[in-house]
Amino acid sequence: MKISIPGKNKKCGKGRWCGEGAKGAATRKMIIAAGRRVFRSHPYQAASFRMIAQEGGFSFTLINHYFTKAELFEAVAEEVMEELLAASKTWMEGLDALSAKKGLSLFLDRALDYLFDNPDPVLLLMQNVAEGDKDGEIPGFDRFSAYVSEAKDMIIRVAPGEYDSDRAVWWVYSMINLMIVYIGASSYHARVLGVAPRSPEYKNWIKQSLMYLFLPRLERSLKSKK
């Protein structure tokens, strides 16, 4: 998945600077970083340039020279999902040499460690999934669809067997969505369970619940492969 940041790789809109060169690139990076912090805690429709500027410590008029709101959100989504895809590839390393149980256990350890330390993907999605139902398509959400497609292909390569394209999407998409819910709304779920939301106990609870739900299908898939 290649990043194509608006304002950098295509012609700027009317009245906006292209911002080429080192200074322009640094400014774009600063704006995207501030936008990322705001969009992970506020829905797209509720977030404003003034909020982003306050978060970044610069004038809100600066953003208009580089991005529309839709372009900025798309740039943030693309950056976050590209980071997630790169991390996901490392989660798959060496799994094909392990049993289903050991492989899934290691995969979940890697995925949960990453998402607990880098929750932006799940926070961004948690804030904005419902917005699409209320206000139509959210810009940049095709990046999430692209990630699901890439993750599906990785699962098929590691565990073929029963995992044709449709089944792989069911398996991957269901697991991803449970992680989004468990980590993106961790304060609520951890409170229900009586543990701290960032605690090892809560992380282990997520892992064990996912093992319970997804290991049986994976084991059947690997058996059918033999």
Q: What amino acid is encoded at 64 in this protein?
A: N
The backbone torsions φ and ψ at residue 89, rounded to the nearest 5 degrees and listed phi first, read -65, -35
Question: Residues of the chain with pLDDT > 90: what percent?
Answer: 58
8 assigned to some structural domain: no
35 assigned to some structural domain: no
64 assigned to some structural domain: no
197 assigned to some structural domain: yes
Under the banding of pLDDT at 50, 70 and 90, the label for residue 116 is very high
Mean pLDDT (the chain, rounded) = 85
30 assigned to some structural domain: no
Give the pLDDT of residue 21. 80
pTM of the model: 0.83
67 assigned to some structural domain: no
Is pLDDT larger for residue 211 or for residue 129?
211
205 assigned to some structural domain: yes
141 assigned to some structural domain: yes
Residue 133: give the domain boundaries.
77-225
Mark 54-73 as b/e (b = at least 16 C-beta within 10 Å). Answer: ebbeeeeebbebbbbbebbb
Distance CA 199, CA 146 (A): 31
Domain count, the chain: 1
